[in-house]
Every structure is written in C-alpha cells, then in structure tokens.
Structure 1
Amino acid sequence: MQLGFIGFGEAAFELSIGLKQQGFGEIVAYDPMWNHPAYGSLVQERAEKAQVSLLKEPEAVLSRVNILIVAVPADKAYDVSHTLKPHLEESCIYVDVSASNPEVKRSIHDNLKGKGVTFVDAAMMGPLPVYKHKVPILASGDGTDAFIDLLSPYGMDISKVSDTPGDASAVKLIRSIYMKGIAALLVEMLEAANHFNVDELVISSLSETMNGKSFEETMNRLVTGTSIHAVRRAVELEGSIDMLESSSIDSTMSQAAKEKLQRLSKFNLKEKFQGKTPSHWSDVINALQH
C-alpha cells in the first residue's frame, strides 16, 4: 500500500506524523508551494519532520500511490481534481478532505467517473494537532469501505456515513452552523457580561440551566418551546439588543436571533399546535416544511 498527499499543509502533516508513529511505510507528497520563496522552507521542514518524500510534480505522486489524499483549500478542490484526472492510476482511492460543500464533493466524484478510481468524501471532525491521524473522520462515497479497511489498522478513526459523496461533508458543515454560531453568540454574551461586571453571575446562572440535562434534551426543550413562544421571545430580545446598543456593544448575533424568531412566528406554530408545546423537535421542523 502506497499513500500520497496532494497539498502538504497542516492536515497532511499531522496525519503523516501520526501514521509514521504507527509504523506506516512510505508516504509521498506534492505541494505547489514546495519551492516558494516565503513558504517553501516550511513545507520542506514539515516533510522532513514527518518523514515524507516531497516530490516536485503531482504526476510523480500519482504514479506511485493507490491511496491519494487531496488536502487542498475548499475553493481549489474541484479544479485540482481536473488537473489530476489525466494522471490518476486505475484502482486508486481518491480521498478529498477539503472543507468543500456537498455539491462540490459530488461534482468531483462525477468528474472522476470513468477513470477506474473510487472516491471518498472525508470530513475531519476534530483538531488535527490534537488527534493527528486518529482525528475522527466521517466518510462517504464508493471508496469508503476500502479506505476504512486499509487505514483503520494504523489507528485511523473512520466512520462510514453512506456510499453517497457529499453526505459526510454535509454532516460537518451542518454541525458547523451550531459550533461556529454558538462561539460567536458566546463572545457577544461575554462581552456584555464583562461590560456590566456580571460575568460570574451570568455564567453561573447559565451553567445551572444547561448542565442539568443532556444536549439532546436541552435542544428539544429549546426548539419546542420556542415554536409556540417565538413572538414573545423576539420581543424580549429587543430589550437585550437595546441594552447592547446603548452600551456600544455589537449586537449582530442577537439581531440575527430576533430575525430568526420573527420568521418563525410567521408560521403560526402556536395555532397549529393549539397552544401546546410539541413533544419533539422533529414536530417543529416538519411543521416548517409543510
């Protein structure tokens, strides 16, 4: 088994370091910045540290591997697949770990059809410097089973989502709505709490509310309750927004939340549910879609 990377940035570097520690054999890579006057030395230093053979042409990598991990920026992933396509060896497993959206992943898969290669949409679900090659990976596409069979023995944590390219990336990007959104919301909340010198009280109060139940139970309660109280909660947020703006604190997240609640109120869910809180979040989502 031969493994190669196209793009040798942080992802490829950390995966290589971990795999080498597990006794993996030869790894080769190509990065277009390998001889860049500013960044070339970093690429070369990483390759040396990870015991990876850095090659000067992508074709040289493709001719030697049966597993190809393409770790390039999301906006370059599709074009890179076009560039690599003529040089791909039959039976190669093409693994795209970019943060591209599901449509791009499906387009890459379609672009490679007819080359005798299989495709894996791989979504890395944790910090690589922490997990290295053991980072949890969700994978979808027709090459997923072989990808798991070949690299799981080296400690890689790969879970199959489906045989459909794009499904794994969909999970990651949808999860990011919450993870990135909640981080931005917390910054806005903490900025206000700090301004009014009530940091500990606010955090303590929220901890008491949030720590008592599991994430799923809390999510269910918040979504179902909001479905019938959207109007009132949007009005209540107005007070929070006024407070922030009067203190010259950015209210972007609160404004967005208010607008979302106002949009939700237009579905008249309180009337649809006859004023009773639905039992499950899926009841709310289904009502929004029908």
Structure 2
Amino acid sequence: MTRVALIGFGEVGRVFVEDLRGAGQADITAWDTAFADPGSKASRNARELGLAPAPNAAAAVAGADLVVSAVTAMNCVAAASSVAPGLQHAAWYFDLNSSSPGHKQEAAAEIHAAGGRYVEAALMSPIEPRRLASPFILGGPHAQRFGEAAGGFGLTGARVGAAVVGVAAATKLCRSVVVKGLESLLSESLLAARHYGVDREVIASLSNILPEADWEAIAGYFISRSLEHGVRRAEEMEEAAATVAEAGVTPWMASATVERQRWAAQFGEVLPQGSTPELVDAVRIAAGLFEEGDG
C-alpha cells in the first residue's frame, strides 16, 4: 500500500485524508507545527479523523511514497527543509502551497538535494466541492511522470503544465490578484454601501457590466472566505505581490489586497450569518463602524 505523508493539516490536508481513506488508502501520516496547540484546527482535524500526529516533519515523511505539502504560503521553503532529513529516495513531493515562483524554486532545490522528486502544484479553484478532483496545474521536471500517476491518488483534475518550476505558481498567483482582489473589493464596497443604504442598488448594478448572476450571494461567499481565511489569504497575496514585482510590475493592487484580507481576518467570529446584508452589518458592528441610523 502506498504511504502518504501530509505536511500541514488544515482544510486541504483534511480533504486529502478523507478522500484517500475513502479510496482505500489508509497508510497516512501527518505533521503540522500547530499540533503543539491542542486547540488548533490542525489538532482538531487529527482528533476527529483519528490520526495520530507524527513527532516531527522528518518522522512523518519516513517511508512515504508521496509527501503533500499544504502549509501557509510563507512556510513553503521551511516545510521542504524540515522533511529533507527523513525523505525517502525518489519520493514524490507535491507542493501545493500558494508561494511565489522564487520560493517554489528554493523548495525544489531542497527536495532535489535530498533525493526526492519535487512537483509544484497550483490549485486553481477552492478545494470544495470537487475535492481531490479539483483542477491542479502540475509543474517542474518531474511533473509529466507524476501526472501519469496522479489518478491513482484521486487527483483526476490534474494537468501537466511547464517543466520549469515556478510557472504553475505564477499562474496561480496572477489569478489570485483577481480573485482575492475581488473579495477585497466587494468587502470594501459593501461595508461603505451599507452605511449609505445603497448596497442593494450597488449589487443590482453589477450585472449591467458583469455577467448576470446572484451577486449578493457571490459577495456573501467572497466576504465570508476573507473572514474565515484572511490570515492565509494575506500571506498568499504577499507572495502574489512578490510574483508581480518579479515581473517588473508595481504590485499596488496585490499589496492593497494584503491589507484588506489581514483586516478581515480579525472578524471571523461573526460567521455564520443568514444573509449578505446581515454579514456585512455584523462585520461593521465588530469593527466599530456601525452607527445608529445607518442603512
């Protein structure tokens, strides 16, 4: 049976465990720096899934055929370094962190020096609802070979991109400038629009230029994602800003999105709410923005 090790045990790590077990893949180990805190999301995931945490990263990957790195963006290189002492020769290292091309290349160098086969992976959608069948772009010199084996791990939506490490990351992060930027734009617009009582008119007007859609529901979903995952998104957008800057473009939009996402992360406790207006008002109250008579 193939052995799989997870480095990072948040939302994506949990999906990997659930789907691999569902496919009969039960030999799974995990490590997350947050295991040191029994109340962390990583620790809760391990308890709920009945998975005993490994004592450290190197121990987690010992004997593993596939290592999945799903840590926060800023820890991409550190995660690769942490597993190197325990990495099995020719083990696959599947790096799906939202890190810049430069950081992906540094991580690849660590893994290749340890005898592993580094594959960068760019997740091009939320992990739900397609889970491991979500669209991944694979990159690096080992991407073609891994692509041939990906279906066996349930990664049926994976496609092979460039053989150069960093191209898939650039694709992901340039997309993030739009997607995470749109989350921040909708949040900022509706926080102000609720103050003036014009939020419904603003939302209704979006279909005058954008595709016809339930923009109120979309806005609620996007804002809730910022509230729930703002810390992680801010880190990702720092990597996006670095990616844009490496292209010689001043990352004004990406840098501004970092600040809005980091700000939103303070108010995750207001979730859930019944509607988008209720969600926006809950954030305004929590942020001290609500005034008597608003809206």
TM-score by length of 1: 0.64
1:127-276 alignment, distance < 5 Å: 127-156=126-155, 157-211=157-211
1:90 aligns with 2:89: yes
Q: 1:99 aligns to what SS in structure 2?
A: coil
Quick one: distance in 1 between partners of 2:57 and 2:42? 15
Shift of 1:198: 4.2
1:101 aligns with 2:108: no
Shift of 1:4: 0.9
Shift of 1:11: 1.6
Q: Is the 1:102–1:167 Cα contact (8 Å) retained in structure 2?
A: yes
**RMSD between superposed Cα atoms in Å:** 2.7
Shift of 1:56: 1.8
Q: Deviations over 1:6-46 (max 9, x none)?
A: 2222221122112222222311112233343443xx54442
Q: Is the 2:58–2:84 Cα contact (8 Å) retained in structure 1?
A: no
Partner of 1:75: 74
Partner of 1:217: none
Q: Deviations over 1:180-221 (max 9, x none)?
A: 222322334434544444444443343133238xxxxxxxxx
Quick one: distance in 1 between partners of 2:32 and 2:178? 33
1:12-27 alignment, distance < 5 Å: 12-27=13-28
- The one-letter amino acid of 2:105's match is R
Quick one: distance in 2 between partners of 1:114 and 1:191? 49
Quick one: distance in 1 between partners of 2:34 and 2:184? 33
Quick one: distance in 2 between partners of 1:91 and 1:58? 17
* Pair 111,209 (structure 1): closer, same or farther in 2 beyond 3 Å: same
Quick one: distance in 2 between partners of 1:199 and 1:72? 36
Partner of 1:66: 65
- Structure of larger gyration radius: 1
* Pair 6,186 (structure 1): closer, same or farther in 2 beyond 3 Å: closer
Quick one: distance in 2 between partners of 1:80 and 1:59? 10
- The one-letter amino acid of 1:174's match is C
Q: Deviations over 1:106-140 (max 9, x none)?
A: 11112333433211111222223533322322221
Quick one: distance in 2 between partners of 1:197 and 1:5? 47
Quick one: distance in 1 between partners of 2:14 and 2:146? 19
Shift of 1:68: 0.7
* Pair 204,153 (structure 1): closer, same or farther in 2 beyond 3 Å: same
Q: Is the 1:193–1:202 Cα contact (8 Å) retained in structure 2?
A: yes
Answer with 185-194 or 144-153: which moved more. Answer: 185-194
Q: 1:162 aligns to what SS in structure 2?
A: coil
TM-score by length of 2: 0.63
Partner of 1:32: 33
Answer with 194-203 or 96-105: which moved more. Answer: 194-203
Quick one: distance in 1 between partners of 2:201 and 2:35? 52
Q: Deviations over 1:195-249 (max 9, x none)?
A: 444444443343133238xxxxxxxxxxxxxxxxxxxxxxxxxxxxxxxxxxxxx
Q: Is the 2:112–2:118 Cα contact (8 Å) retained in structure 1?
A: no
Quick one: distance in 2 between partners of 1:43 and 1:65? 20
Q: 1:123 aligns to what SS in structure 2?
A: strand
* Pair 183,38 (structure 1): closer, same or farther in 2 beyond 3 Å: closer
Quick one: distance in 2 between partners of 1:183 and 1:31? 28
Quick one: distance in 1 between partners of 2:57 and 2:191? 48
- The one-letter amino acid of 1:26's match is D
Quick one: distance in 2 between partners of 1:90 and 1:189? 52
* Pair 24,146 (structure 1): closer, same or farther in 2 beyond 3 Å: farther
Where structure 1 has 5 or more consecutive residues not aligned to the other structure, the ranges are: 213-251, 257-290
Where structure 2 has 5 or more consecutive residues not aligned to the other structure, the ranges are: 213-251, 257-295
* Pair 183,63 (structure 1): closer, same or farther in 2 beyond 3 Å: closer
Q: Is the 1:5–1:71 Cα contact (8 Å) retained in structure 2?
A: yes
- The one-letter amino acid of 1:141's match is G
Shift of 1:100: 1.2
Quick one: distance in 1 between partners of 2:135 and 2:15? 13
